[in-house]
Amino acid sequence: MNNQFKHICVIGLGYIGLPTAATFAAHGIKVTGVDVNQHAVDMINQGKVHIVEPDLDALVKVVVAKGMLSARTTPVEADAYIVAVPTPFKDDYQPDLKYIEAASKALAPYLKPGNLVILESTSPVGATEQMAAWLAEARPDLTFPEQAGEADILVAHCPERVLPGKVLQELISNDRIIGGMNQLSSTAASNLYKTFVQGGCIETNARTAEMCKLTENSFRDVNIAFANELSVICDKLDINVWELIALANRHPRVNILQPGPGVGGHCIAVDPWFIVAKTPEQARLIRTAREVNDAKPEWVIDQVKIKIADFLQAHPEKTIKDVTVACYGLAFKPDIDDLRESPALEITKKLAEQGLNILAIEPNIKTLPKNLEKVNLVDLTESLNADIKVVLVAHKQFKEQNIIYNVNAVGI
């Protein structure tokens, strides 16, 4: 175990922060987690979790019981700080760093010489330097990497690169990119992550680490956009896109992804815009891919409308208010409860605005978000008699009941 950091403070106990905190705690480092959500704090201190992630509940229960993990709403003095807060974008697609700024100002009073501050939040290029500037502004009595060769405070960026549903496994097995604002920061952060990371800890500078995460997700976004655009083209040409992709993928150097209703989650649906915002003239392909994927939910809605029109024509005694539409899945990907930037959620919401009777089937949540007041959350059996079935997310429960392969369902 790394003896330099005996106590760390993780700010942000969401889908990345909590698994990270629990994993450090399981490897012998005392962790204080910080979150503004009092409910989340209370749940964690009871040894419970407020998010769905396989095996996380069991891990949190163990490390809380051992006294290695606790949660609170304000930071404490520690040896290292990990900032894992959201980084959304504004209406004009410019990055919004307000949560990083708030976290920086919250932890600044507790800093002391020798501390390490790591930004894990996926961020636009320059965000780590901006975080250091906010810290320096709050603590003029301390020096930071851009102010001195051997600064009082070390600062680094280490983006997460885990798959929801396999977070605990990939936190340990995946390589980590460690981007320090100076070499001492890179080395210290690398040593900290080596506490549990079995993959490589590859050191670079902060800007390259920031761009690396954005590049990874933009690469995936571009490839998804190709599949989504293919599905629209094939619909126009009366070709089965699933068969087409299966045939094309028999080529030894072709690996086309599967199309879907769009792209969601806090990473792929957001990160490419950070590149576009910084370099709008150069990021032409990345912008176009984002626009293709952002347009896919409306295309799906149009397909549903066509099915509704066909249904009403076949049942002239019914009106649109009599049509029941079952939307299968609200999360942004299979077998998780994360609704952030979910195209399935957007599609369901917009269909409800049409005056239809909308049933939502999402086995990973217990209550609907507030913007779905007109939607009924039901279990699988209650949805089987719906007039129109819209399969949006390939949850395992839907596969087990053959919902995904139902010929009467609307394909995406």
267 is catalytic: yes
Q: What are phi and psi of 362, to 5 degrees?
A: -135, 95
- Annotated catalytic residue, options 9, 158, 201, 213: 213
Rg (CA), the chain: 23
Whole-angstrom distance between the N-terminal and C-terminal Cα of the chain? Answer: 48
Q: Which amino acid is at 328?
A: Y
CB atoms within 10 A of CB 340: 17
| 213 given a catalytic annotation | yes
Query: Active-site residue among 267, 307, 349, 389?
Result: 267
Contact 35, 71 (CB under 8 A): yes
Question: CA–CA separation, 332 vs 315, rounded Å?
Answer: 33
The 3 state secondary structure assigned to the chain is: CCCCCCEEEEECCCCCHHHHHHHHHHCCCEEEEECCCHHHHHHHHCCCCCCCCCCHHHHHHHHHHCCCEEEECCCCCCCEEEECCCCCECCCCCECCHHHHHHHHHHHHHCCCCCEEEECCCCCCCHHHHHHHHHHHHCCCCCCCCCCCCCCCEEEECCCCCCCCCHHHHHHHCCEEEEECCHHHHHHHHHHHCCCCCCCEEEEEHHHHHHHHHHHHHHHHHHHHHHHHHHHHHHHHCCCHHHHHHHHCCCCCCCCCCCCCCCCCCCCCCHHHHHHHHCCCCCHHHHHHHHHHHHHHHHHHHHHHHHHHHHHHHCCCCCHHHCEEEEECCCCCCCCCCCCCCHHHHHHHHHHCCCCEEEEECCCCCCCCHHHCCEEECCHHHHCCCCEEEECCCCHHHHHCCCCCCCCEECC
* Under 8 Å between Cβ of 265 and 164: yes
> Which amino acid type is present at position 134?
W
HSE-up (13 A, CA, CB side) for residue 166: 10
Catalytic residue ranges: 213, 267
